[in-house]
């Protein structure tokens, strides 16, 4: 599901072609079909690979936030040295 949305977002950012791709690809419809298939197969418990995937996503988001904060701190420090 995440790959469907990511693909639609990345290609959808291209002017005109991205709009045509979004109309054709329909990531939300594909995700709804995936959810319906999953619901029809029954409930299964989350395995180790599921938890590792979630942990990887959370770690990636934390790295992005830390990177933004470090870049912001560097810019403020550079601005302070230029101003003084």
Domain boundaries, the chain: 1-44, 45-84
The 3-state DSSP class for residue 45 equals: coil
pLDDT tens figures, 13-39: 889 888 888 888 888 888 899 889 888
Gap between the Cα atoms of 24 and 35, Å rounded: 20
Gap between the Cα atoms of 67 and 72, Å rounded: 8
pLDDT tens figures, 60-73: 999 999 999 999 99
- What pTM was computed for the model? 0.54
Sign, CA dihedral 36-37-40-42, equals negative
């Amino acid at each position: 599901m995440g790959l469907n949305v990511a693909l639609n977002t990345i290609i959808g950012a291209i002017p005109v072609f991205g709009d045509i791709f979004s109309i054709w690809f329909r990531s939300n419809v594909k995700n709804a079909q995936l959810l319906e298939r999953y619901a029809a197969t029954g409930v299964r418990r989350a395995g180790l690979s599921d938890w590792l995937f979630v942990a990887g996503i959370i770690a990636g988001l934390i790295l992005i936030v830390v990177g933004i904060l470090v870049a912001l701190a560097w810019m403020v420090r550079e601005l302070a040295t230029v101003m003084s």
